[in-house]
Amino acid sequence: MISDIVVVGAGIVGAACARAFAQSGCRVVVLDRDAPASGTSAKGEGNLLVSDKGPGAELRLAQYAASLWPGVAAELAEELGAEFPAIEYERKGGLVVATTGEGARPLLDFAASQRDAGVDARAVSIAEALELEPHLNPDMTAAVHYPDDAQVQPVIATEALLASARNHGADIRPFVAVTGALRDATGRITGVSTTAGAVPAGAVILAAGPWSGEVSAMLGERLPVRPRRGNVLVTTRMPHRVFHKVYDGDYFGATQSSDAALQTSSVVESTAAGTVLIGSSREQVGFDERLRVAALREIAAKALRLFPFLAGASIMRSYGGFRPFMPDHLPVIGADHRTAGLWHASGHEGAGIGLSLATAELLVAEFLGRAAAIDAAPFRPDRASLAPYLDEVA
Amino acid sequence: MKVVIVGAGPAGLAAALAARAHGASVTLLDAADEPGGQYWRHLPPERPSANERILHHGWQRFTAMRRALEADAGCEIVMGAQVWAIERSDAPAQARTEAPMPAAPVVVHVLVGPPDGTGRAGRTFRPDALVLATGAHDRTLPFPGWDLPGVFTAGAAQAFAKGERVAVGQRVVIAGAGPFLLPVAASLVATGARVLGVFEASRIAGLVRGWLPKPWQLIGAAKKGGELAGYVGTHLRHRIPYATGRAVIAAHGTDRVEAVTVARVDANWRPVPGTEQRIAADAVCVSHGFTPRLELPIAAGCAISSSRFVEVDEAQQSSVAGVYAAGEITGIGGVDAALVEGELAGHCAAGGSPGDPEVRRAAKARTTFTGFAARIEAAHGIRRGWTAWLDDDTLVCRCEEVPYGRFRETAAQTCGSGLRSMKLTTRAGLGICQGRVCGGTVEELIGGGPETAAGGLLDQRGVAATTDRRPIASPVRLGELAGGIGPTEPTEPHLSKPTVQKGHQ
């Protein structure tokens, strides 16, 4: 049997693509060298954010994604039934806080620019901020409330999308690693060779997250995706005292920088299970999984500036993951302009959970020649901002 | 030479003595209040007892080792010391500004003080050599009713008996697998409990295959045989029924245990229908073997074998130069193996060699213990049929209260996904014990397990993907973590001169 589509990677982006293509009537095979949802998708907080994005293409993608999630969450719940664990979609809202005198103005200016781009970004007084988050350190200089920030439990969301894809006929094959490309006489990719034999396909969608650069090279094309490590601390369960996603304003600086040095900014939120997630750091250290205490210490110190009560909270685990970092800070979505048959869905850095659904919709639209909901050109592999990096040695 | 030793049980104490004898300065760290480990757990000093030796094998050896170390200015013993992280200092991305690099590429992060207190002090060590002797904890398989008050791990029952002189019940059933059941029975009898029976899941054939082919090895070279004979003697004296091929498959009661169901099990530990027998009891102690505490060796980068032990060479050195391992984390071998391994590890960590005359006896004895752990595993190792005694309401993970039925349902819904996904989807293993109790169970229920050659849990990422990987090795408060920033935390010098020089260098 010839599969129409092979998706490489069973993380949330691959899962969303598998579901969207299967729903469109394509025959879909998903390959992952590991178990589903065991890489980047299992190592993040499950952010569906608009608050951290300035006006531009990524914000438009995030706004589009935010419009898709409520419907997909409801569809998945109905389709998979009560036996399937809930994906914990919650539009809980974000609260971004400036903790220094010089930090207040940039935060409020940033929010104003977002408002112009259609984001619900509400500058609130310190008193209002404390009403939203009573345990927040009152010693803050500015606060902005983003009601549209949401979250999901990313692993359950990935499994739910895969289960739905399976219901629509997709074939999910874990522990099968891609080893190379199958090509026809014209050089067009016609499938992949794997550790479990050849898998022919009309199109290969590369959704391997931070490992996409590696797999792309195996398929014969360079893709400048690099791993960027992030760490999150998890507390033991406690009574619910953090109600939104709460950030310090430094977060913008960290996401926009390409500096390899350690950067941290505070991200604090509760989960449905009662734990508190405290993030996050960003380091470019390759695929180095080893714990770095200095990174954890900085995360901890910054979180305490937001929520002093957390000083007594017990950290029972930390997890670190690798986010797929792009040099021009935009995901790569669409057909490869160099090799026919190869498609990309990678490079979402820390935003892939949220952007997964929108990514899949853009790909399906391009593949089937349908009109897309937003302009996909800024994400295409042939965009001008990416061109200087495509020849760079990986 | 500066040697840091983690764990003050038999292996750690022996390592400390040997490292001192070879001239190293030693820091011995242990989370407990008193040295001795699980094996020599005893009454606190404010409630001394003249009868410790009755409950403790090798008690005189322990007190002699302890006294020698306490009197030695070159050995710092730090009790209440939680090693919460081991950081590797050979990370390629890390700037190597500090010269000279210590031999062991590790940084040991410790918090000292009562774990429930607020004022724990942070300490950081960069030793020349590190000896890990972190031991093992009980492995307990779930069964219906195992979460009732009155159900204890055999280790907890033993700890009550040895550390508090309290029996866990009046009428006690002991069940599980392995030679540890016998000393637990002996301790309980010594503290006044009536032991109704010891039920060993392995069958006679299994025991014959595992223990009996070379009994002289146990009796002749190791004290294990003598120890075993002592336990058997105790059994006979108190007429404790000892049955093999039987398991406790359920505990019953409303507020606490009132009775247990014991059934025959086949060679694969699957209960044989129709053989159930109900026994009234107010406590049940279970142990199905041991889980080595591997989080620190994994954090240090040590290679772990497919049977989940730290791989060591004849010097007890792990795959990481300068990092040594001894005792139960290198194979469940009992106290005598731990003492010998500890001695070798300490001697070699201090710069010695396993061929040196002062450790000749230890090096020779070590070869005797080789294969001991494998024989215990062959005789008493967990067999897959045990899952047949679970029902849908049996909690797989007690911290997060995940019942077997829901776990199985989720596995079916997600087509039996990988370990990390199953944990995060069901929450099994995500609770306060971080999978220390249920990790092995969850891995086996998913159907992986370390022996799976292809795919399963031990895929490309190997042991890094198992439940034994815990970069934060014990809970740390956010304030303690944040407080470590800046110059307030005392940091040990990279290289320090031993305070006492002994032996040859």
Q: What is the mean pLDDT of residues A258-285?
A: 76
B442 token code pair? 């969850």
User: Nearest CA of chain A to the CA of B82: how many Å?
Assistant: 13
Buried residues in B320-333 as b, exposed as e (16+ CB within 10 A): bebbbbbbbbbbbb
Pairwise CA distance, residues B18 & B347, whole Å = 5
> Are A315 and B109 inside 8 Å of each other by CB?
no
* Among A69, A47, A64, CA closest to A246: A47
Q: Is A64 left (phi over 0), alpha (psi -120 to 50) or beta?
A: alpha
* Among B493, B468, B499, B501, CA closest to B75: B499
Size of interface A-B (CB pairs under 8 A): 153
pLDDT at B231: 56
For residue B436, count other CB atoms closer than 10 A to its CB: 20
The answer to whether residues A171 and A28 touch, using CB atoms and an 8 Å cutoff, is yes
Instruction: Set out the domains of chain A in order of their start, with CATH numbers.
Output: 3-71+154-225+328-393 (3.50.50.60), 94-147+227-325 (3.30.9.10)
| Residue that wins the pLDDT comparison between A124 and B462 | A124
Pairwise CA distance, residues B303 & A12, whole Å = 32
Nearest CA in chain A to B462: A34
B143 token code pair? 């069964």
> Are B471 and A320 inside 8 Å of each other by CB?
yes
Pairwise CA distance, residues B107 & A37, whole Å = 32
Cα torsion angle, B345, B346, B349, B351, sign: negative
For residue B351, count other CB atoms closer than 10 A to its CB: 18
Per-residue pLDDT tens digits for A158-169 = 999 999 999 999
Q: Is B92 exposed, middle or buried (0-12, 13-18, 19+ CB in 10 A)?
A: exposed
Q: Rounded to a whole number, what is the largest CA-CA distance in chain B?
A: 70
Q: What one-character DSSP code corresponds to residue A283? A: B
| Residue that wins the pLDDT comparison between A3 and A26 | A26
A282 token code pair? 């960003």
Give chain A's count of helices (H) and strands (E): 10, 18
Of A156, A159, A318, the CB nearest to B471: A318
The answer to whether residues A206 and A215 touch, using CB atoms and an 8 Å cutoff, is yes
Give the distance from CA B234 to its chain's centroid.
25
* pLDDT in 10s for each residue of chain B, 505 residues: 999 999 999 999 999 999 999 999 999 999 998 888 877 777 666 655 655 555 566 778 888 999 999 999 999 999 999 999 999 987 544 444 444 444 788 999 999 998 776 678 899 999 999 999 999 988 899 999 999 999 999 888 888 887 777 788 899 999 999 877 887 888 888 888 899 999 999 876 555 555 444 443 443 334 444 455 555 556 556 677 888 899 999 999 999 999 999 999 998 999 999 999 999 999 999 999 888 999 999 999 999 988 889 999 999 999 999 999 999 999 887 788 899 999 999 999 999 999 999 999 999 888 877 777 777 777 778 888 999 999 999 999 888 889 999 888 888 888 766 888 888 888 888 888 888 888 888 888 887 543 333 333 334 344 445 778 888 999 999 999 988 543 333 444 433 333 333 333 3
| B6 beta partners | B29, B132
The answer to whether residues B86 and A293 touch, using CB atoms and an 8 Å cutoff, is no
pLDDT at B449: 40
Pairwise CA distance, residues B159 & B338, whole Å = 19
Q: What is the mean pLDDT of chain A?
A: 91
Pairwise CA distance, residues A136 & B163, whole Å = 44
* Among B276, B282, B278, B287, CA closest to B255: B282
Phi, psi at A135, each rounded to 5° = -95, 5
B156 token code pair? 């907890």
> Are A291 and B455 inside 8 Å of each other by CB?
no
Of A42, A273, A297, the CB nearest to B482: A297
* Cβ contacts of B92 on chain A, cutoff 8 Å: 286, 288
B113 token code pair? 């003080």
pLDDT at A308: 94
* Among A286, A273, A350, CA closest to A317: A273
Q: Verify cis geometry, omega within 30 degrees of 0, for the bond prior to A212.
A: no
* Among B124, B107, B120, CA closest to B480: B120
Three-state SS for B204? helix
> Are A315 and B434 inside 8 Å of each other by CB?
no
Instruction: Set out the domains of chain B in order of their start, with CATH numbers.
Output: 2-136+291-376+486-502 (3.50.50.60), 140-288 (3.50.50.60), 395-456 (no CATH)
pLDDT at A310: 95
What percent of chain A has a predicted confidence (pLDDT) above 90?
76
> Are A174 and B418 inside 8 Å of each other by CB?
yes
Lowest-confidence region among A231-245, A289-303, A309-323: A289-303
Q: What is the mean pLDDT of residues A62-71?
A: 97
Q: What is the mean pLDDT of residues A15-40?
A: 95
pTM equals 0.86
Give the distance from CA B252 to its chain's centroid.
29
B386 token code pair? 């045990």
> Are A316 and B432 inside 8 Å of each other by CB?
yes
| B425 beta partners | none
For residue A198, name the pLDDT band (cuts at 50, 70, 90).
very high
Residues 6+ apart with CB under 8 A from A290: B87, B88, B91, B301
> If residue B236 lies in a helix (H) or strand (E), which one and from where to where?
helix B224-238
Pairwise CA distance, residues A231 & A227, whole Å = 13
The answer to whether residues A249 and A106 touch, using CB atoms and an 8 Å cutoff, is yes
Report the residue count for chain A.
394
Q: What one-character DSSP code corresponds to residue A371? A: P
* Cβ contacts of A288 on chain B, cutoff 8 Å: 91-93
